[in-house]
Amino acid sequence: MENIDEVFESTKQAITNFENIKECIQGLYEVLKINLSQENIYFQIGQDNLEALYQNLLELMINELGTIEFMKMLKNAEIDLDLPLDNLIE
């Protein structure tokens, strides 16, 4: 059985991570709003992608069985984590 403090800390960290992801998505949306008019096709494409990203994140989080299997695959290096953003992520 897991230590209650360990579960609490893990849950607290997961909530912090989720809030950080929400802030990042909101920040990206604000950058779009600052740089592009809402009628601009690139603004609309960016907005659609941010909405899809958030929707998929929520669906992933509530898919308990799928998430557990995904995490196993991730730990076994079966999932490609490479996200080429013009070499911004190293």
Report pLDDT for 73: 86
Map out the domains of the chain as residue ranges. 4-75
CA dihedral 31, 53, 89, 13 (to 10 degrees): 100
Rounded Cα distance between 73 and 3, Å, is 25
Model pLDDT for residues 16-75, shown as the tens digit of each residue: 999 999 999 999 999 999 999 999 999 999 999 999 999 999 998 899 888 888 888 888
Instruction: Single out the residue of 35, 72, 61, 32 nearest to residue 49, CA to CA.
Output: 32
* pLDDT at position 6 over 90: no
